[in-house]
């Protein structure tokens, strides 16, 4: 039985690789510019982290990415377990000295890489905001004033301090998660079940 796994390229890869080896899956990183590798009965794919849920929804057996990406992309995948790494939080952030509660942000422009999560957050509170979708460096939007606030991932908080920004509200905690293709969940049930059991023991 072959198992295909979509792994996040970028900063999560090192921790993902170490964790999978703990549960008995040795990962082979691809050569230079290649995006696929194989080892034993596993095939590994290395898409951009934001695309991992798309691969798993459309036929790759398993994937690992941040819970933020699963919530943002809203793909049809099974997420059985959080993983013990990739811990950070998603927060609402404003320029330093302009602290304000989310409830008072009616009409604000909010810059983010996460428009779906941001929209859902403000809709739940009954607040209308304008969302500016950016693909990176969202801190800049608040710094130059094209946005009143931003929604972004916070890890150490160093980037915020360096850009004179501060958190006003934690929207959610985030960690890496295991994704399982809905068909794989049924057709390779024993493998998936054993893997989840091993992961829970390590957690």
- 112-117, long-range: CB < 8 A, 24+ apart: 112/138, 112/150, 112/151, 112/152, 113/138, 113/152, 114/68, 114/72, 114/90, 114/151, 114/152, 115/72, 116/71, 116/72, 116/73, 116/74, 117/68, 117/71, 117/72, 117/90, 117/151, 117/171, 117/172
Q: How far is CA 59 from CA 38, 47, 148, in A?
A: 17, 14, 40
Say yes or no: 76 and 11 in one domain: yes
pLDDT at 194: 96
Say yes or no: 57 and 34 in one domain: yes
Say yes or no: 162 and 179 in one domain: no
Start-to-end CA distance of the chain, whole Å, equals 27
Domain hosting residue 107, numbered range:
88-173
| pLDDT less than 50: residues of the chain | none
Say yes or no: 30 and 95 in one domain: no
Residue 173: beta bridge partners?
89
What 3-state DSSP class applies to 183? Answer: helix
Say yes or no: 78 and 48 in one domain: yes
pLDDT at 99: 92
pLDDT at 34: 86
pLDDT at 31: 79
Rounded Cα distance between 96 and 166, Å, is: 5
- 127-132, long-range: CB < 8 A, 24+ apart: 127/102, 127/103, 129/105
The percentage of the chain sitting over the pLDDT mark of 70, rounded to a whole number, equals 100
152, containing H or E segment: strand 149-154
Say yes or no: 108 and 155 in one domain: yes
Tell me which residue has tokens 């790759």.
Answer: 60
Rounded to two decimals, the pTM is: 0.91
> Other CB atoms closer than 10 Å to residue 96's CB: what's the count?
13
Rounded Cα distance between 8 and 129, Å, is: 31
Say yes or no: 8 and 76 in one domain: yes
Report yes or no: 71 and 115 within 8 Å, Cβ to Cβ.
no
pLDDT at 171: 97
Say yes or no: 168 and 179 in one domain: no
Say yes or no: 43 and 82 in one domain: yes
For the stretch 48-67, pLDDT in tens is 999 999 999 999 999 999 99
CATH of the domain at 182: 3.40.190.10
* Alpha-carbon torsion angle 81, 83, 87, 93, nearest 10: -30
How many domains does the chain divide into? 2
What's the distance, CA 154 to chain centroid? Answer: 12
Say yes or no: 103 and 164 in one domain: yes
Say yes or no: 156 and 195 in one domain: no
Tell me which residue has tokens 């549960």.
Answer: 23
pLDDT at 73: 95
For the stretch 81-115, pLDDT in tens is 999 999 999 999 999 999 999 999 999 999 999 99
Say yes or no: 135 and 93 in one domain: yes
Q: How far is CA 48 from CA 51, 146, 194, in A?
A: 5, 28, 27
pLDDT at 10: 82
Provide φ and ψ at 57, rounded to 5°: -60, -35
């Amino acid at each position: 039985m072959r198992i295909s796994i979509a792994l996040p390229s970028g900063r999560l890869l090192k921790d993902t690789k170490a964790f999978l080896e703990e549960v008995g899956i040795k990962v082979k990183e691809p050569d230079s510019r290649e995006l696929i590798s194989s080892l034993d009965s596993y095939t590994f794919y290395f898409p951009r982290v934001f695309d991992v849920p798309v691969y798993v929804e459309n036929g790759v057996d398993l994937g690992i990415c941040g819970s933020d990406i699963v919530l943002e992309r809203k793909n049809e995948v099974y997420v059985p377990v959080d993983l013990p790494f990739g811990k950070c939080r998603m927060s609402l952030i404003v320029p330093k000295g302009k602290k304000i509660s989310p409830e008072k942000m009616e009409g604000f422009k909010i810059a983010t890489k996460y428009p779906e999560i941001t929209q859902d957050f403000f809709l739940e509170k009954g607040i209308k905001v304008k969302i500016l979708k950016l693909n990176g460096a969202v801190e800049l939007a608040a710094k130059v004033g094209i946005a009143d606030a931003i929604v972004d991932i916070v890890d150490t908080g160093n980037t915020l301090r360096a850009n004179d920004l501060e958190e006003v509200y934690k929207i959610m905690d985030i960690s890496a998660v295991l994704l399982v293709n809905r068909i794989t969940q049924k057709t390779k049930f024993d493998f998936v079940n054993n893997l989840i059991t091993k992961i829970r023991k390590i957690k």
